[in-house]
Amino acid sequence: MSTTVDPDRTIDVVGVAYHRPRLSHMQKRNLWGFLFTLPALCFFLVFAIIPIARTFYLSFFTFSVVEKPVFAGWENYRALLDDQRFHASLVNSFAYVFMTYIPVAIIALALALALNVRLRAVGFFRTLYFIPVVMSWVVVSAIWKMIFNRQGLMNAFFLEPFGIAPKNWLTDQDWAPRAIVIMSVWKEVGFFMVVFLAGLQQIPSDYYEAARVDGASGWQLFRSITMPLLRPTLLFVSVIGMITGLQVFVPQWVMTQGGPVTATLVMSLNIYQTAFVFLKGGTAAAMSVVLFLIIGSVTLVQFWLNRLGAND
Amino acid sequence: MTNRGAGPRTGGHRVDRRTLAKGAIGAAATAALATSLPVAPAAAQDKTVIKFWTHTHPPMVELNKALVADFMAANPDIEVQYEIIPNNEFATKMLASMGTGTGPDIINMDDAQMRSTYIPKGLVQEVDPANMGYGSLDDLKAAYIPTALEGSTVDGKVYGVPSEFNVTAMAVNDAAFTEVGLDPKAPPADWTAVTEQGAKLVVKDGDTFTRRGFDFTYLHAGWYHNLFGTLLLQTGGRVVAEDGTTVTVAEAPSVEALHIWYDLIWKEPKIADPTVANQDATVPYQDFLDGKVAMMPFNPWGMGLITSDSVVADTWSIAPLPQKHPGSAGTPEATPVSADGAGPVTPLYAYYWSVNALTTDEKKKAAAFKFIGYISSFPGRWLKESSFIQPKTGWEDSEEAKELPFFEVWSSEMLKGQFLPVTPAGEQVDTLMKSALEQSLLSGEDPQEALDGVKPQIEAAIASS
């Protein structure tokens, strides 16, 4: 048994004294920092790392939510090569990302530029554009489902007044994906507008003043000062847009359930149906791994491109 | 007078760290003690709690709620927690909950899923006649008409009793018929006549149908399964052959079945249009109720949705389902059903009350069977209050049956009835079929090409099942 005689000296059972190493201020700070982050790390380990690792593991098995796994090797991955629904969902996911988040970025940047001024009502407009962001995707999707109905507002306001025959947007293979894109752009613009606003407000006004003294035009200010200094924000927007877009699930599930045919079947929805409707958990796990790798790869490429651009 | 709000600045009691710690420990101890105390009387703790989930159908939900309340009043030791799941999510949520061990103790599922998934995967329990109030399994079987339990029977073992037993007929908008000079008492008996009469019933505003002559519904995969299955029965087609592995969906009888549907939409005179059809599975017959379609396939439970607010409230009737081979209509006994479709045939489908086999608590299982025995003992109320046929032996002789609107049609259609065949990987095949059918019906792809396209996908789905 040990007896502590002072905070730094300990006598062990045979009476030999030794000194416990004294922690430096930095080490103590790091230790406390680690201890404070430990709960979050445990949470992350339990709810992110372990499930991800288990998904990798299960992708090599055949199982369903109601059956035990049986080892299948690479079979689940091989099956994906011939799976037309999987191919369709991949294409649809990327189409959704590009059709949604490129317009979102452009509109959000334009709004941020417009609202990055000192006007009395600017707070009102910022709030107005942000309202869709705080609404639930499920609620928004259910509302827009009615808007896109044949008797809905979309036809009444935008087609019928111009003599265009009303359409049932969500049962048309060509228009259903576009309908979801329109809704998503409306929903997402506010968030990215706020991100761009934050980025714009980080740019020192001195740069603009100096450039104006030198006679720079508005376009030159935007091209030579705003855009280069917004590069980190643009990277953030592109990465978040890509990740969010590739993981999209709710609007497709609520509005079209992936149809008509497979026009709005995105990867997350396909994974969900494969696991819980078709009861093919191993295939769904393999799809999840592929989605994970795609998102990881695309994100790395975006960082790499951004670094290349920064070095130019 | 003490200034309670001012705190240390006015010389009041200062809360130091030690006091704060004591307070926190005290509060934690109090909370721990409180949570360890019984929250309900001892009697309530002894209650057996069972979960019961159903899909959404307002008349059914109301009656379920009433019967749950009555059952709990009669059985104070059992608590039934009733939950309603939206139709579109019902099948998925049910299976997902089973996989995570959070499923209901009482499952209310259709025959196709029972036979393709729940029974083969051991998710439902064989019936327990004793706890359901029967002397034996034979007594239970004898309590129902012979076909009633087919949808929940595999290898002679019975896994559930019907909560609703459906046959498909056709709803007719009598006012629309009269309006265009047709006799609602002589509705079309075959698909050619459907097209001829349907063309007269069509009303358009420009290019837009405001009333279709005849139409099916365009909802989720289960609906497509039933409706296309209806036509397959008539043409003798199948998605997958009886061997369970040979995909026959692109063979002539199946293509013919799809052509019946496709031609209504795409071939002149066009009398159907999916682009104006209702998309809400909670109210699948809304278009008929609103007078937007003059004829459509209909089930007995659909009558429960017709209210005084419906456009067709007093001007509807039920007629036999149009057939490829109408045979001698009205005397189905004279035209026996054949497997190759050479005779009138209508699909049967049913929902069954079953007990979750994954429930490990035997008390819960016993309570669940007791509840099923109770809730299934009111066939008259089910028929009267929700138009659900519970085919107990002699049901057709009951007063409620005789009061069922168009009872004669329903009972004669039932004699032509067959359950639809199930396939391996049923849910996946149904989803693939939905896509193929939509490709043809919504986008106009030739039926043969649409079914050729889905064939390899179904083969792959079955091979990997």
Q: Which tokens is A45 given?
A: 């380990």
CA distance B69 to B73: 6
Whether residue B87 lies inside any domain: the answer is: yes
What pLDDT does residue B253 have?
95
B270 in the same domain as B239: yes
Average pLDDT over residues B324-342: 53
Residues of chain A in contact with residue B434, where contact means CB-CB under 8 angstroms, are 259
Assess B66–A contact: CB distance below 8 Å, yes or no. no
Name which of B96, B438, B457 is nearest A276 (Cβ-Cβ). Answer: B96
What pLDDT does residue B44 have?
52
Whether residue B290 lies inside any domain: the answer is: yes
Contacts of B433 (CB under 8 A, 6+ apart): B221, B224, B225, B228, B239, B249, B454, B458
B364 in the same domain as B228: no
Assess A280–B contact: CB distance below 8 Å, yes or no. yes
Q: Catalogue the E-assigned strands of B292-442.
A: 295-298, 316-319, 346-355, 417-419
Assess A283–B contact: CB distance below 8 Å, yes or no. yes
Q: Which domain, by its residues, includes B26? A: 17-166+349-406
Low-confidence ranges of chain A (pLDDT < 70): 1-21, 310-312
CA distance B6 to B12: 7
Residues of chain B in contact with residue A259, where contact means CB-CB under 8 angstroms, are 434-435, 438
Cis-peptide into A51, omega within 30 deg: no
Whether residue B225 lies inside any domain: the answer is: yes
Residues of chain B in contact with residue A172, where contact means CB-CB under 8 angstroms, are 275, 442
Whether residue B215 lies inside any domain: the answer is: yes
Q: Mind listing the pLDDT tens digit for each residue in B60-94?
A: 999 999 999 999 999 999 999 999 998 877 888 88
B293 in the same domain as B356: no
Whether residue B12 lies inside any domain: the answer is: no
User: Do residues B155 and B191 touch, judged by C-beta distance below 8 A?
Assistant: no
What's the structural domain count of chain B?
Answer: 2
B234 in the same domain as B86: no
Q: Mind listing the pLDDT tens digit for each residue in A22-33?
A: 788 888 899 999
Q: Mind listing the pLDDT tens digit for each residue in B235-275?
A: 999 999 999 999 999 999 999 999 999 999 999 999 999 98
B229 in the same domain as B184: yes
Q: Mind listing the pLDDT tens digit for each residue in B414-426?
A: 888 889 998 888 8
Plot region of B7 (φ>0 → left; ψ -120 to 50 → alpha; else → beta)? left
What pLDDT does residue A79 have?
92
B190 in the same domain as B308: yes
Q: pTM value?
A: 0.79
B241 in the same domain as B280: yes
B305 in the same domain as B330: yes
CB atoms B279 and A165 under 8 Å: no
B155 in the same domain as B206: no
Q: What residue in B sits closest to A68 (Cα-Cα)? A: B99
Whether residue B4 lies inside any domain: the answer is: no
Task: Write down the mean pLDDT value for chain B.
Answer: 86
Question: Lowest-confidence range among B42-51, B299-308, B387-396?
Answer: B42-51
Name which of A259, A276, A280 is nearest B438 (Cβ-Cβ). Answer: A259
B229 in the same domain as B96: no
Q: Mind listing the pLDDT tens digit for each residue in B360-371?
A: 899 999 999 999
CB atoms A278 and B435 under 8 Å: no
Q: ipTM > 0.85?
A: no
Q: What residue in B sits closest to A75 (Cα-Cα)? A: B464
CB atoms B206 and A165 under 8 Å: yes
What pLDDT does residue A58 have?
94
B283 in the same domain as B229: yes
Shortest Cα distance, chain A CAs vs residue B377, angstroms: 32
DSSP A209-241: HHHHHTT--HHHHIIIIIHHHTHHHHHHHHHHH
pLDDT at B41 over 50: no
Q: Mind listing the pLDDT tens digit for each residue in B116-127?
A: 889 988 999 999
What pLDDT does residue A16 have?
56
Shortest Cα distance, chain A CAs vs residue B44, angstroms: 32
What pLDDT does residue A38 have?
95
What pLDDT does residue A311 have?
67
Assess B117–A contact: CB distance below 8 Å, yes or no. yes
User: At B15, is the pLDDT very low, low, confident or very high (cuts 50, 70, 90)?
Assistant: very low
CB atoms B431 and A277 under 8 Å: yes
What pLDDT does residue B1 have?
35
What's the CATH code of the domain at B225?
3.40.190.10
Whether residue B174 lies inside any domain: the answer is: yes
B151 in the same domain as B44: yes
